[in-house]
Amino acid sequence: DLFLVLDLEATCTKCRSLYPIEIIEVSALLLDAHSLATLGEFQSHVRPTEHPLLDPFCVELTGIEQEQVDTAPLLGDVLLRFQQWLEGLGAFGGAKSLLPVTWTDWDLKICLETECGWRQLPRPPYLRRWCNLKRVYGARYRRASSLQKCVEALGLRWQGRAHNGLDDSRNTAMLAVRMVRDGCVLTVTDSFKDTVPSTDQ
């Protein structure tokens, strides 16, 4: 059984007036749910098409530079590469179960779902259900705030910068490992109604 710890970064402005927002980075770690070992990492920038010029606020927040998205593949191509990466690690083989893990519901319930909708891209079936780690954290420890504060509250050292997709994925994975070792059970916290029921973790 596997945990897919996922983080998306998207276009943004300080006043939050941008529409539509577009994914500009997809990052993930694949963890063995039993040994809690990291099996692989994925990171790709994504080229926005509706608002191709990044707002200075977005550049400062995410650390993503304009030239990185200018030369990046489109979202459909990144999702295909992402699936191929998972296939290469045997994530869909046999009786294995794959549980996506995100810090909030935003990544999969809002961000990816909305953009796949208006771009008319097929929704990845393995991302239709997920574990919101922030909700599990709040139930087990205390009221959850930011990812960084929750990481540090458990005595863990934050790595890298906030809102860098790969760093956020690594820190979320580190927190998830600690939580599982503390006895937390990671399971599906939300899903879309078209999801086929499955027993995981």
Q: What is the pLDDT of residues 23-36, one digit of tens each?
A: 999 999 999 999 99
Q: Are strands 2-10 and 98-102 parallel, antiparallel or unpaired?
A: parallel
Q: How confident is the model at residue 95 (pLDDT cuts 50, 70, 90)?
A: confident
Distances (CA, A) of 124 to 31, 63, 70, 80, 131: 19, 27, 25, 9, 16
Quote the CA–CA distance of 126 and 128 in Å, as a whole number.
6
The overall average pLDDT reported for the chain is 94
Among 73, 71, 60, 93, which residue's Cα sits nearest to residue 23? 73
Residues identified as active-site: 9, 163
Could you confirm whether domain 2-191 is CATH 3.40.920.10? no
Distance CA(110)–CA(190), nearest Å, equals 12
Mean pLDDT, range 177-194, rounded to an integer: 95
Split at pLDDT 50, 70, 90, the class of 162 is: confident
Residue the block writes with tokens 């500009």: 24
Q: Are the beta carbons of 180 and 137 closer than 8 angstroms?
A: no
pLDDT band at 199 (very low <50, low <70, confident <90, very high): very low
Domain boundaries, the chain: 2-191
- Stretch (H or E) spanning 151: helix 147-153
pLDDT for 193: 82
How far, in Å, are 12, 57, 69, 95, 180 from residue 72 at the CA level? 18, 20, 5, 34, 35
